[in-house]
């Protein structure tokens, strides 16, 4: 048996023990052969790592979301000059951000929120819209500095999300900074725990969960928006009370933390893997729908999912039955299952439970 980070799991691996969420809800039983959808569910529940058996099973194509598909759409994005320029700027910003955060955590260096905000916003050029930003982020590869890159991703997602919510400019800036600094507490968690190759004890797992309080304590010393501090503390809280560290419900959770929690999980679920390209956003929407919209504030999660779906309206997709078509109409009661036009045929996915969007083409 060995412990494997969720980000490094691949379909066919077999669970060596039951897998539970942080509030003791069983997600996967022992001896489960992992599929891509199961791995994505682990990201949804913020499971950091699991124990797997040395043996790996063969997996059929149906058990993997587009495993061979670093899809043509993804390839086109990555081949574009816009993406190559974005990736170069992004990696430079991630390196700079890493140094800045270490100065703050280790030397109590001042936090210049204006400089941080401007640096992140410098990644978004004037011609980029919501779909372009998301395409850029979806296609970034996994690098060693994952925590820092994830924070920048979440900041950019929050910036777009804030505009979808029609927040005023001041709140857009605050929300972007909330996303950028939400995981700062992870820098105080020992690498010996985060990268431990064996099973985490309950005590060690509880140490990892303290990154929320650690982040709040770091930021509490600074004269910055209380929303930024509370988001570091509350971004793992859930509206149904199933989150941590305080088990808060509904209106007890800071509104910025509610928004960041959605961006945080979305970024984790859509990330490209070693065995596939980025996960199709419609599959991520489906997981949000099936795993519990009640965990999130309805006015935020529905706005987010509807806008994600709307940004890909008229995009060409491949369905699980092999047909290709265009997304032409969104189903507001089942956002992940829009109406698809395949030639002269219309397929209403809300009425075809066995057919789903496989990938963009």
Short-list 241, 147, 222, 161, CA closest to 189: 147
Helical residues (DSSP H) of 80-112, grouped into ranges: 81-107
Q: What share of the chain is helix, strand, coil (3-state, %, to 5)?
A: 50, 15, 35
Q: How many residues does the chain have?
A: 361
Q: Is 196 in the active site?
A: no
Residues in Cβ contact with 250 at an 8 Å cutoff, skipping those fewer than 6 apart: 239, 297
- Catalytic residue chosen out of the listed positions 30, 55, 163, 186: 186
State the Cα–Cα distance between residues 106 and 104, nearest whole angstrom.
6
- Beta-strand ranges (E) seen in the chain are 2-5, 13-15, 19-20, 26-28, 49-56, 316-319, 324-329, 339-342, 345-348, 357-360
3-state secondary structure at position 129: coil
Indicate left, alpha or beta for 241 from its phi (over 0: left) and psi (-120 to 50: alpha): left
The 10 Å CB-count burial string (b at 16+, else e) for 65-76 is: bbbebbbebbee
Distances (CA, A) of 162 to 144, 174, 286, 333: 29, 10, 22, 23
State the Cα–Cα distance between residues 150 and 255, nearest whole angstrom.
21
State the Cα–Cα distance between residues 212 and 235, nearest whole angstrom.
8
Query: Residues with catalytic annotation?
Result: 186
């Amino acid at each position: 048996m060995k412990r494997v980070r969720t980000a490094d799991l691949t379909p066919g691996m077999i669970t060596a023990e039951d897998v539970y969420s942080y509030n003791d809800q069983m997600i996967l039983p022992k001896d489960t052969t992992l599929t891509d959808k199961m791995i994505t569910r682990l990201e949804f529940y913020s499971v950091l790592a699991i124990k797997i058996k040395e043996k790996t099973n063969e997996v059929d194509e149906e058990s993997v979301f587009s495993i061979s598909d670093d899809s043509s759409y993804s390839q086109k994005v990555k081949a574009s000059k816009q993406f190559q320029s974005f990736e170069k700027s992004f990696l430079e910003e991630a390196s700079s951000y890493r140094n800045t955060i270490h100065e703050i955590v280790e030397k109590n260096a001042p936090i210049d929120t204006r400089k941080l905000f401007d640096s992140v916003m410098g990644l978004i050029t004037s011609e980029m819209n919501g779909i372009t930003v998301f395409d850029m982020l979806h296609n970034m590869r996994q690098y060693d500095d994952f925590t820092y890159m994830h924070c920048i991703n979440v900041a950019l997602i929050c910036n777009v999300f804030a505009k979808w919510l029609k927040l005023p400019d001041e709140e857009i800036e605050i929300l972007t900074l909330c996303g950028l600094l939400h995981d700062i507490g992870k820098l105080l968690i020992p690498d010996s725990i985060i990268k431990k190759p064996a099973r985490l004890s309950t005590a060690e797992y509880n140490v990892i969960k303290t990154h929320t309080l650690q982040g709040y304590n770091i930021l509490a010393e600074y004269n910055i928006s209380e929303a930024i501090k509370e988001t570091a503390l509350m971004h793992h809280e859930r509206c149904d009370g199933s989150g941590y560290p305080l088990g808060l419900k509904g209106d007890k959770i800071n509104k910025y933390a509610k928004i960041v929690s959605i961006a945080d999980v979305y970024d984790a679920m859509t990330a490209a893997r070693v065995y596939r390209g980025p996960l199709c956003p419609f599959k991520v929407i489906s997981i949000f729908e099936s795993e519990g919209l009640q965990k999130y504030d309805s006015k935020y999660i529905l706005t987010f999912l509807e806008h994600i779906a709307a940004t890909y309206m008229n995009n060409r997709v491949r369905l699980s039955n092999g047909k290709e078509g265009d997304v032409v109409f969104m189903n507001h009661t089942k956002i992940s299952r829009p109406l698809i036009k395949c030639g002269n045929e219309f397929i209403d996915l809300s009425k075809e439970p066995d057919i789903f969007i496989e990938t963009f083409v």
